[in-house]
């Protein structure tokens, strides 16, 4: 007999996600992923001025802030044939690079690490040994025995007070927690340091875009004027502050995040064989260095890997008809029936909730069961995210990407197959952070060189006036958000937004089944996962967190639901 466990809500993610997993003989045999929240962003931009849309859609999410604004301005520029000046391209890249650094570090320490790190166990650590360990894996200066001893005292106070605060309700003492106490103490110290650090790196957005989250963008370029004289403009002092922040970001990633991930991963190598999934990976490509129109100059290559075959990378065909969204299992209706998919240019977002009324025990997964639509590429499910980006780059023979991936594999002494896993996803995020931190400093140098050479252009306003636009136009704005391939599709008619659709990374990964019954990434990767204790389903959380879910993005009102964290029933 199978047990169906419900984990709802999955915590330490963005948004509201429910997982129902069927467990037989201690292993997951089937799984269902459901978003229990719905939003209406695609609807509210219809009829609006395309030059304003970025400001609305950027509010899709406060976690991957900037990405929906960037996709939006790219979509409008693509539709109207606008090429932005290189300075704007570099500022956009720097802002995106800063987001990657912030997002990946916060995800690892504050959302994912506690699936592997036993906070309470760090009290058993010898601070002197932790110090030796820290100094053996990194030159990060905060590593004295006294420093770790102070951290331990802070945690002891929490534990002895009986109020764990930010560390409440973790799976402390779970038998699948495998780290020595010294590694636990190291990770807890860096959890606290990362909290301090993350508020600094976001200042890059405030300097270029006025604020964070949701900095300002502009169709045609960026709104930050370079003005080396004016104290209120983007002057030398502010630019050197950006450089300092980026360098500090790189140091934190190189000296704290990556060494920690590798140290922790070395105790969890078995997770290199868990959470495999179906083996299709997609990257749209991103970080252009010579214009959005020429994919060959992107830092992250674009492409598709099918069935884990790294010897052949397929083209995405961004403007073709390969991508469709299905609603057969989602709480939406299409005007001409729910079995066929729709290309995003012709997409529809008609919310139609037909699920159970709360409180309920289980979803009826024979019918619609999620507010997330189901995207497919040529009818196939795709996993997107850091791992997909690295695999596509690896398959494309990109030397930089191949170098860092091979370096991590040999450091951990694991085969290439270990990448297709929960551990692979988590390691890929750290590895790509290192690449992105380096690239972001390159983008900064390019910007500074242009300014030195007298090129201060930040926007191309040639086609600002709607009177210069064609009567009808359509465009796609794609990018690689931290969580994976993101696309916005716009149709413009008579100067207004006629249709607008977002297909988001977590839409690809978290969606329900398609009409052929094929599972998307969350559902597929859970199958085969052992669950030691169904009352404490740590293993489900590990694999789901390895994707870094964002449900606000994926469904772009809230539904009242029961307060239970986990529930076990026989079916």
Q: Would you name the residues annotated as active-site residues? A: 14, 61, 64, 68, 483, 506, 550, 553
Give the three-state DSSP class for 100: helix
* Binding pattern for the stretch 515-554 against ligand NFE, x by CB under 6 A and - elsewhere: -----------------------------------x-xxx
504, 521, 540, 555: residue in contact with ligand NFE (rule CB under 6 A): 504
Q: Residue 550: which of ligand NFE, Mg ion, none does it interact with, CB under 5 to 8 A by kind?
A: ligand NFE
Cross-strand pairs, 324: 376
Chain centroid, CA 97 distance in Å: 13
Kindly report the number of other CB atoms within 10 A of residue 140's CB atom: 17
Residue 89 annotated as lining a ligand binding site: no
Q: Return the range that interacts with Mg ion (CB under 5 A); candidates 16-24, 264-272, 313-321, 495-503.
A: 495-503
Kindly report the number of other CB atoms within 10 A of residue 535's CB atom: 9
CA distance 156 to 144: 19
Residue 64 annotated as lining a ligand binding site: yes
CB of 303 to Mg ion, least distance (A): 23
Q: Residue 61: which of Mg ion, ligand NFE, none does it interact with, CB under 5 to 8 A by kind?
A: ligand NFE
13, 19, 67, 120: residue in contact with ligand NFE (rule CB under 6 A): 67
CA distance 483 to 503: 12
Any contact of residue 65 with Mg ion (CB under 5 A)?
no
Any contact of residue 370 with Mg ion (CB under 5 A)?
no
- In this structure, the chain runs to a length of 571
CB of 502 to Mg ion, least distance (A): 4
State phi, psi for 350 to the nearest 5 degrees: -110, 105
Specify the residue, 148 or 508, whose C-beta has the smaller distance to ligand NFE: 508
Q: Residue 424: which of ligand NFE, Mg ion, none does it interact with, CB under 5 to 8 A by kind?
A: none
Place of tokens 């370079």: 226
Nearest to 151 by CA among 198, 196, 103: 196
Q: Are 383 and 522 in contact (CB under 8 A)?
A: no
Specify the residue, 125 or 544, whose C-beta has the smaller distance to ligand NFE: 544
Place of tokens 């932005």: 84
Q: Residue 553: which of ligand NFE, Mg ion, none does it interact with, CB under 5 to 8 A by kind?
A: ligand NFE
Any contact of residue 506 with Mg ion (CB under 5 A)?
no
Any contact of residue 96 with ligand NFE (CB under 6 A)?
no
Residue 182 annotated as lining a ligand binding site: no
Q: Residue 133: which of Mg ion, ligand NFE, none does it interact with, CB under 5 to 8 A by kind?
A: none
Specify the residue, 184 or 511, whose C-beta has the smaller distance to Mg ion: 511
* Binding pattern for the stretch 24-63 against ligand NFE, x by CB under 6 A and - elsewhere: -------------------------------------x-x
Nearest to 42 by CA among 473, 562, 548, 504: 504
Q: Are 427 and 546 in contact (CB under 8 A)?
A: no
Specify the residue, 490 or 552, whose C-beta has the smaller distance to ligand NFE: 552
Q: Are 111 and 548 in contact (CB under 8 A)?
A: yes
CA distance 193 to 195: 5
DSSP-derived letter for residue 347 is -
Residue 564 annotated as lining a ligand binding site: no
Q: Residue 486: which of ligand NFE, Mg ion, none does it interact with, CB under 5 to 8 A by kind?
A: ligand NFE
Q: Return the range that interacts with Mg ion (CB under 5 A); candidates 245-253, 275-283, 410-418, 494-502.
A: 494-502
Q: Are 149 and 127 in contact (CB under 8 A)?
A: yes
Residue 494 vs residues 52, 73, 334, 425, 432: alpha-carbon distances, Å: 15, 18, 25, 44, 42
Residue 550 annotated as lining a ligand binding site: yes
Any contact of residue 263 with ligand NFE (CB under 6 A)?
no
The H-or-E segment that residue 148 falls in is: helix 145-161
Rounded to 10 deg, the angle between the 399-412 and 258-265 helix axes is 40
Find the residue with minimal CB distance to Mg ion.
502
Any contact of residue 97 with ligand NFE (CB under 6 A)?
no
8, 14, 89, 432: residue in contact with ligand NFE (rule CB under 6 A): 14
End-to-end CA distance of the chain: 7
CA distance 230 to 464: 26
Q: Residue 305: which of Mg ion, ligand NFE, none does it interact with, CB under 5 to 8 A by kind?
A: none
CA distance 57 to 401: 31
64, 91, 430, 490: residue in contact with ligand NFE (rule CB under 6 A): 64
Any contact of residue 502 with Mg ion (CB under 5 A)?
yes
Nearest to 17 by CA among 501, 506, 536, 508: 506
Residues 467-486 that bind ligand NFE (CB under 6 A): 481-483, 486
Residue 122 annotated as lining a ligand binding site: no
Specify the residue, 191 or 284, whose C-beta has the smaller distance to ligand NFE: 284
Secondary structure string (H, E, C) spanning 454-517: CCCCCECCCCCCHHHCCCEEEEEEEEEECCEEEEEEEEEECCEEEEEEEECHHHHHHCCCCCCC
Any contact of residue 506 with ligand NFE (CB under 6 A)?
yes
How many residues in the shown chain lie near ligand NFE by CB under 6 A?
Answer: 16
Any contact of residue 330 with Mg ion (CB under 5 A)?
no
CA distance 26 to 23: 6
Residue 448 sits at the vertex; the CA angle it makes with 486 and 62, to the nearest 5 degrees, is 30
Q: Residue 552: which of Mg ion, ligand NFE, none does it interact with, CB under 5 to 8 A by kind?
A: ligand NFE
Specify the residue, 436 or 553, whose C-beta has the smaller distance to ligand NFE: 553
CB of 228 to ligand NFE, least distance (A): 34
Binding residues for Fe cation: 64, 553
Q: Which residues bind Mg ion (CB under 5 A)?
A: 502
Binding residues: 42, 61, 64, 550, 553, 556
Q: Which residues bind ligand NFE (CB under 6 A)?
A: 14, 61, 63-64, 67, 481-483, 486, 504-506, 550, 552-554
């Amino acid at each position: 007999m199978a047990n169906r466990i419900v984990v709802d809500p999955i915590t330490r993610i963005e948004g509201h996600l429910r997982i129902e997993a069927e467990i037989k003989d201690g292993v997951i045999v089937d799984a269902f992923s459901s978003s229990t929240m719905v939003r209406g962003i695609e609807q509210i931009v219809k009829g609006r001025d395309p030059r304003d849309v970025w400001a609305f859609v950027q509010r899709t999410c406060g976690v991957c802030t900037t990405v929906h604004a960037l996709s939006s301005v790219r979509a409008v520029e693509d539709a109207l044939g606008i090429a932005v000046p290189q300075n704007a391209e570099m500022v956009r890249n720097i802002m995106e690079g800063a987001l990657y650094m912030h997002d990946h570090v916060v995800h690892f320490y504050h959302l994912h690490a506690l699936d592997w790190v036993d906070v309470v166990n760090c009290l058993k650590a010898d601070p002197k040994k932790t110090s030796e360990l820290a100094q053996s894996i990194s030159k990060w200066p905060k590593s004295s025995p006294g420093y770790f001893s102070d951290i331990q005292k802070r945690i002891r106070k929490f534990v002895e007070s009986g109020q764990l605060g930010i560390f409440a309700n973790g799976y402390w003492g779970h038998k699948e927690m495998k780290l020595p106490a010294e590694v636990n103490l190291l990770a807890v110290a860096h959890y606290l340091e990362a909290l301090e650090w993350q508020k600094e790196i976001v200042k890059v957005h405030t300097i270029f875009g006025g604020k964070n989250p949701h900095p300002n963008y502009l169709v045609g370029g960026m709104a930050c004027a370079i003005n080396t004289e004016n104290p209120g403009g983007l002057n030398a002092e502010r630019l050197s502050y950006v450089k300092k922040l980026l360098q500090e970001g790189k140091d934190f990633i190189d000296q704290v995040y990556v060494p920690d991930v590798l140290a922790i991963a070395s105790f969890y190598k078995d997770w290199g064989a868990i959470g495999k999934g179906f083996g299709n990976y997609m990257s749209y490509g991103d970080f252009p260095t010579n214009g959005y129109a020429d994919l060959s100059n992107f830092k992250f290559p674009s492409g598709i890997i099918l069935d884990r075959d790294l010897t052949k990378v397929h083209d995405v065909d961004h403007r073709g008809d390969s991508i469709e969204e299905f609603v057969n299992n989602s709480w939406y209706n299409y005007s001409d029936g729910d079995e066929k998919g729709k290309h995003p240019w012709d997409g529809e977002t008609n919310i139609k909730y037909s699920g159970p009324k709360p409180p309920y025990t289980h979803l009826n997964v024979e019918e619609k069961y999620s507010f997330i639509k189901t995207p497919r590429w040529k009818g196939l499910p795709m996993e997107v995210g850091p791992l997909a980006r690295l695999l596509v780059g690896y398959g494309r023979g990109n030397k930089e990407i191949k170098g860092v991936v091979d370096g991590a594999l040999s450091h951990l002494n694991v085969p290439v197959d270990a990448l297709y896993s929960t551990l692979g996803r988590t390691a890929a995020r750290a590895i790509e952070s290192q690449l992105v931190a380096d690239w972001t400093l390159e983008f900064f140098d390019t910007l500074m060189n242009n300014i030195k050479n007298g090129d201060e252009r930040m926007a191309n306003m040639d086609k600002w006036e709607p009177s210069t636009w064609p009567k009808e136009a359509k465009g796609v704005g794609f990018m690689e958000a931290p969580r994976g391939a993101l696309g916005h599709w716009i149709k413009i008619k008579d100067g207004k937004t006629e249709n607008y659709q977002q297909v988001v990374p977590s839409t690809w990964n978290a969606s329900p089944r398609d009409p052929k019954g094929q599972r998307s990434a969350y559902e597929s990767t859970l199958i085969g996962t052992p669950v030691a204790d169904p009352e404490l389903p740590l293993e489900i959380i590990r694999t789901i967190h390895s994707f870094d879910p964002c449900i606000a993005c994926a469904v772009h009102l809230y539904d009242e639901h029961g307060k239970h964290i986990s529930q076990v029933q026989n079916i």
